[in-house]
Chain A
């Protein structure tokens, strides 16, 4: 048989491409559920890690089912907010946003040509008072994203976890692999009034006189991963700025500063002083 004539060649290639495409479509459809379950459990374990319920390695060891159970036990409230920091819709408690969804929201926050609608960014409140918000942006080779947990005052960072698609292993990939980098975030306070909400810079900020870490909005960047550190800084700034109004609106009011004897006269600093005097 002559395998070189045109009709044969065209029919042969058509048949092979159709068979392969059908097979791949079938496999992709039948494995889709499992893959999405894995991705969801991965995302949830990142949020739990940010909120300091355990380490990513521990969650990985425990498996998907344990991670989902832990999340169901700890999550209190999940909802979407608009750009004015107002709650617009509840999220089902078993729903999280995949990195793909974060990418879409990232465009919506930043505006521009890729905008697909109004920004509706998620807030996840845990029963122990911690609030977890996602961040998303561009690293050096691909997207970086992650979760930042805040204490119940919505000012102090309680923990953070970051992930990436293709940062350099051993350098940029440390945003994910190095727990000491993530631990640096704990206790820091983003500055919502300044030019930069948060900065990851060489050296961070100088230590306090007694050698303890300064509480501010700067932490030490990763050696050899300046581009990834800068990308992460941008991602954190864009997203935390988008959350700023919500944080201000939802933060618990300052504690009543004066006792019964001050009869509502007191305001602001006066009260603080009074309390100190007492």
Chain B
């Protein structure tokens, strides 16, 4: 694997993370991070949608008429989102979690990361790097989701993946943590940590 491909994969995970650096996909990261399980399924869904849409559109990139390219992108992304939703609904194991995430799976289509990466990367690059870029951006998004969900589920419900951790010690779950504003506070803290490590992101 050459250095450029490696950069494509590693950059979105930390240095160019879609949530903390590009500040994309904030809405859904506030909504689905109440439980770790929900965040995990959401993260995997975004990885699949992002990766495969990037791949398809990169394959089509030379044939897409410039004037309707956004519409073509939308059609492909929407198709992927509906496919993921339908498949989640069809398995016994994922049916309950799909029900819990309800509209947010469908709303992946409005997640700026997907369209953003297609527009910025997939339409100008070969299929394989585009696919990796989509997957890596989905993973970068998912990583932040899991970090936020870890704290929210632990402090808000006293559990992790539904398994009781704190409640047995008499912990009283904090309702503020459950509410979306707390996710924003946590995100702020993550951005703070990242910028103190990565000094070049700091504004002078």
Interface residue SS majority, chain B: helix
Contacts of B8-23 to chain A: CB distance below 8 A: none
| A166/B102 in contact, CB under 8 A | yes
**Complex Cα–Cα for A28 and B102 (A):** 17
Q: Which of A15-23, A107-115, A153-161, A211-219 is the contact stretch? A: A15-23
| Neighbouring A residues of B91 by C-beta, 8 Å | 34, 38
* In contact, B65 and A4 (Cβ under 8 angstroms): yes
Q: Which of B54-88 contact A (CB under 8 A)?
A: 62-68, 71-72, 75-76, 78-79, 82-83, 86-87
In the complex the two chains form, is B63's CB within 8 Å of A27's CB? Answer: no
The 8 A CB mask of B155-179 against A (1 = contact, 0 = none) is 0110000000000000001010011
Check if A3 sits within 8 Å of B92, measured CB to CB.
no
Q: Is A270 an interface residue (CB 8 A)?
A: no
Q: How many whole Å from A31's CB to the nearest CB in chain B?
A: 4
Q: Are A20 and B79 in contact, CB atoms less than 8 angstroms apart?
A: yes
- By a CB distance below 8 angstroms, the chain B residues around A3 are 62-66
Closest beta carbon of chain B to A167's beta carbon, Å = 10
Q: Give the CA-CA distance A63 to B92 in the complex, in Å.
A: 7
B130 to chain A, nearest CB (A): 18
A58 at interface (Cβ–Cβ under 8 A)? no
Q: Is residue A90 contacting chain B, with contact meaning CB distance below 8 A?
A: no
Total chain B interface residues with beta-carbon distance under 8 A: 35
Q: In this complex, what residue of A is CB-closest to B152?
A: A170
- Selecting from A5-13, A129-137, A239-247, A251-259, the interface stretch reads A5-13
21 contacts between A and B (CB under 8 A): A3-B64, A3-B66, A9-B65, A9-B67, A12-B64, A12-B68, A13-B71, A17-B75, A28-B86, A31-B87, A31-B90, A34-B90, A35-B86, A38-B91, A42-B95, A42-B99, A60-B96, A168-B179, A169-B100, A170-B173, A170-B178
Q: Which residues of B approach A to under 8 Å, CB–CB?
A: 34-35, 62-68, 71-72, 75-76, 78-79, 82-83, 86-87, 89-92, 95-96, 99-100, 102-103, 156-157, 173, 175, 178-179
Q: Chain A interface (Cβ within 8 Å of chain B)?
A: 3-4, 8-9, 12-13, 16-17, 20, 23-24, 27-28, 31, 34-35, 38-39, 41-42, 60, 63-64, 165-166, 168-171, 223-224
